[in-house]
Structures are given as C-alpha cells and as structure tokens.
C-alpha cells in the first residue's frame, strides 16, 4: 500500500511551523526564513554550493516516489488569496511539485494546470476524502502531505500519516501555527527516531509501526 509521507516539515523548539502574521511580504510571519535556513544550506536546495551532509540526505527524501501532494490553503497563498482570481501559488509558472497537487480550501476554484507536470486542484473535503482522491491520482506512488501545520496536525489526528519527518530548529517562536495542539501519545503508534545534525537542527522521524 502506498504511503502518506511528510518531509522536511520544520518546526521551532516550541512546535510552530510558521510565525505570524502570514502575509504576502512575510509568508512565515515573524519566523522569516529561520525555519528553513538549514535546508537552504544544503545541496538539495543549492546543488552547486550547498553542503552534502546529513541535512542534504534527509532533505532529498522529499522528492523520491511521490505521485501527488496535498497542502493547506495557507501554504498555497497568503491570507485572502481566494479573493484574487489571478493568484497561482508562490512558486511561479513551474512549481516544484511535478504531480497533481491538492489544495484544501473551503473556497475551491477550477484546476490550474502549470508547467512541469503540476496541476493544482482545489478541494473542500475531509482529510480522508481528500486522501482518497490523491491516492487515486498517485497510483502506485506515495502521497506527500506538504503542510502547513494545521493540515499536518489534522491528518495525524485522523491517523492518516505513515511517515512524518520533522526538523526541529533551535529557535523559540512563541506564536504562530503550532503542530502539536490536540495531539497526544504519538509514541504509541509510531517508532520515533532522532538524528542530531552538526548544523544544529534535529531530524525526527515518526514511522508507523507495522
Ligand atoms: N514549517 C514548514 O516546513 C512549512 C511547510 C509548509 C508550509 N509552511 C507554512 O505554514 C503556513 C501555513 O500553515 P497553517 O497551519 O497556517 O495552514 P495550512 O495547514 O496551510 O492551511 C490551513 C487552511 O487550509 C484550509 N483547509 C484545511 N483543511 C481543510 C479541509 N479539510 N477542507 C477545506 N479546507 C481546509 C483552511 O483554509 P480556508 O478555510 O481559508 O479555506 C485552513 O484554514 C504558511 O506560512 C506556510 O508557508 C511551513
């Protein structure tokens, strides 16, 4: 059975996946780029100059064996993008997904076909129903859950996630979109491993027990 995977989801020590307020100018709010500096320094992000160590190895797993992505409305655009008929996501005309990509939103719109194999589909559906649609599109490949925090939290709460890779960044944000609220006892259903990187981040993997 193909898996539901989360990769490179970066959180602060206090569990925030973004700061606040989210906006066009500051997509991660007061967190700025601090949650992802570890990734920008890798060869995954910068093949010429990036480091090729443990962070790069973890980061590259994001790409392998994925047939569809699901993301939340707040990852797709800043607050209010639903009122802008011309909004096509943050990523330009060739987004880095290269698969059908399902945007969960209470205000769906017609699909957007982009260059490079990404088509954004807009779904107002429960996590289980959205996953059924994404699985159908992904075929034998896995479905990646791309974030943000509230969508990852909802899918974990609904017991729909098989593999969750978190990157704990040693900063304290204090406010924003928090991953952990309402979740408990994940250690009962997942094997949890951690790897400390020389860069200062900690990679945590939650793998569903067989
Ligand atoms: N730290 C990381 O690695 C990482 C990764 C990805 C994204 N991010 C960042 O995280 C932030 C977004 O996270 P977030 O927690 O605020 O929001 P989010 O998870 O991206 O999106 C939540 C929104 O999606 C819509 N939604 C969710 N479930 C739905 C359902 N079942 N049916 C219909 N609509 C549904 C709702 O929007 P509406 O009601 O408005 O339709 C909801 O408010 C952004 O700043 C993004 O850049 C961080």
Q: What are phi and psi of 22, to 5 degrees?
A: -75, 140
Work out the pLDDT band at 210, boundaries 50, 70, 90. Answer: confident
Q: How far is 58 from 36, CA to CA, in rounded Å?
A: 13
CA of 69 to the centre of ligand 1 (A): 13
Residue 159's pLDDT is 97
**pLDDT digit string (tens) for 135-176?**
999 999 999 999 999 999 999 999 999 999 999 999 999 999
The answer to whether residues 163 and 181 touch, using CB atoms and an 8 Å cutoff, is no
**Å from CA of 53 to ligand 1 middle:** 30
Tally of CB atoms within 10 A around 149: 22
Q: Which of 58, 149, 178, 181 to mutate for ligand 1's pocket (most ligand atoms within 8 Å of CB)? A: 149
pTM above 0.85, yes or no: yes
Give the whole-number percent of the chain exceeding pLDDT 90: 99
Residue 201's pLDDT is what?
Answer: 98
Those residues whose C-beta lies under 8 Å from the C-beta of residue 50, and which sit 6 or more positions away, are 40, 41, 42, 43, 44, 56
Q: What average pLDDT does range 38-47 have in this prediction?
A: 97
The mean pLDDT value of the chain amounts to: 97
Share of the chain above pLDDT 70, in %: 100
Q: What are phi and psi of 75, to 5 degrees?
A: -80, -35
Bridge partners of 100?
119
DSSP 80: T
């Amino acid at each position: 059975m193909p898996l539901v995977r989360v990769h490179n989801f970066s959180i602060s020590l206090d569990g925030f996946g973004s700061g606040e307020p989210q906006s066009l100018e500051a997509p991660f709010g007061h967190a700025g780029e601090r949650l992802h500096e570890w990734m920008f320094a890798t060869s995954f992000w910068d093949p010429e100059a990036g480091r090729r160590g443990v962070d790069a190895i973890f980061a590259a797993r994001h790409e392998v064996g994925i047939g569809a992505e699901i993301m939340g409305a707040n990852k797709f655009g800043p607050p209010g993008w639903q009122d802008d008929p011309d909004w096509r996501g943050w990523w330009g005309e060739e987004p880095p997904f290269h698969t059908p990509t399902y945007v969960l939103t209470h205000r769906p719109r017609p699909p957007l076909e982009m260059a490079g194999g990404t088509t954004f589909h807009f779904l107002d559906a429960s996590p289980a129903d959205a996953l059924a649609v994404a699985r159908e599109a992904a075929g034998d490949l896995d479905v990646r859950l791309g974030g943000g925090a509230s969508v990852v939290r909802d899918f974990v709460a609904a017991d729909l996630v098989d593999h969750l890779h978190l990157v704990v960044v040693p900063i304290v944000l204090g406010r924003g979109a928090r991953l952990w609220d309402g979740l408990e006892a994940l250690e009962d259903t997942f094997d949890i491993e951690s790897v400390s990187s020389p860069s200062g981040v900690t990679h945590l993997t939650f793998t569903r027990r067989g």
